[in-house]
Amino acid sequence: MDTKDSFIIEGLAGKKTLTGEISVNGAKNAILKVLAASILFKDEVTVTNVPNIEDVQRAFEVLTELGAIITKINSDTFRIDTTKINRTDISVEISKRMRASIVFTGPLLSRFGKVSFPYPGGCVIGKRPIDVFLDGFKKMGAEIKLENEIYYIKTIGKKLKGVDNFFRLQSATGTETMIMSAVLAQGRTILKNCALEPEIISLANFLNECGAKITGMGTSTIIIEGGSLLSGKNKIYHTISDRIEAGSFIILGALCAKDITIKNCVPEHLESLINALQSSGVNIEIGKNKIRITNSGSKKNTPLEIKTHEYPGFATDLQAPISIFLTQAEGESFIFETIYEGRLNYLETLAFMGANVKVLDSHRAIIYGKTSLKGREMESPDLRAGLAYILAAIVAEGQSIVHNAYYIDRGYEDIERRLSKLGVDIKRVKKN
């Protein structure tokens, strides 16, 4: 996987011909937090159903540089031993490339009383402030200094202290980081206005299995009783399925499926998307751990109003992919991105492909359909828009080239092989 890799895609020109099955991998946003949480353990942590994606590799690098030992058991199972961690500074290079590195700060600060890190990077999709983390650490008794663009944080006493913390804005990463910070803290921590994502529940349940005392996950108020280091002995974390990957495949099916089935998913995690597509006229059959999408004619899809919202609302990470579907719906659709400014920038490229798009401001846009898209050469700007470009290229007429495959590799494992099995004409090429 390399930033110079590109995808060459021959479009289907709007034809619904894709058939077969595609399985959903483990969730990026779940495994990254559990890998960070391994720092809270006095022994080894075993994780399975781990997706082979760039962000996971970067997380392994963070842990290895800190002194952890990572052992590969098989293709998707790993053992992490953090007992020999001897550093608390997070790599500048990795942090700049992966925003999720921020979740390592809480466990490091909680266990060792100090941590240093640069402002994290990642996808360029607008402002992504870290105040939620810094404010939480201060409330728990840490002091923060910023020198030469590096944050230096240390506890004033021996340990972080339990607090009553209200999140001004719901934040999944903020909620997870504060949960992990509180596990080893002194006393009780009460977190209010917490995010509700399934990944948070999955993390908290595993930590409880290993000795933590967390209640309320899945609600807006979570309570953590601080304690001692956790134990992963005889415990295995099975990564839940990636609802964003599943949602991306569902949208692909809505665009181009003759008859495809998305396996190893949790339909309950995707109700907002499924409801929207069904209301537009997409034929979706829901099973226990699978979703089937079929099309047997030239049925027209009606336009939609999409407003992103924290879970269980419409996921911001599916906003770019759903826009491709909206270009193929009949009529005027509306997108309101409420979480990140700048996340509509990709629409300029869609317009270049022939989409009829009107951007109202940094958060709102109108898409007029149905329009025929034309294959183009384009540069992937971030993880989710990059996948949206692949969807656009598949539905378009002619050949498209999507550069900067690295961004897509950050969240989608071996995407070209998996899509090829459905009938997509896609191949990866390396730039010399």
* 356-359 and 331-336 beta bridge pairing: unpaired
Terminal-residue alpha carbon distance, the chain = 14
The yes-or-no answer on residue 123 being catalytic is: yes
Provide the β-strand partners of residue 187.
none
* H-run or E-run covering 274: helix 271-280
Phi, psi values for residue 371, rounded to 5°: -130, 150
Residues forming a β-bridge with 241? 26
d(CA 427, CA 420): 8
User: In angstroms, rounded to a whole number, what is the distance separating the alpha carbons of residues 24 and 244?
Assistant: 9
CA distance 60 to 70: 7
CA-wise closest residue to 59 among 94, 93, 29: 94
Q: Residue 304: name the closest of 286, 283, 328, 284 by CA.
A: 328
Q: What is the DSSP string of 79-121?
A: EEE-TT----BPPHHHHHH-GGGGGGHHHHHHHHSEEEEEPP-
For the chain, what is the largest distance between any 2 Cα atoms, rounded to a whole number of angstroms? 68
CA distance 387 to 424: 14
User: Could you list the active site residues?
Assistant: 123
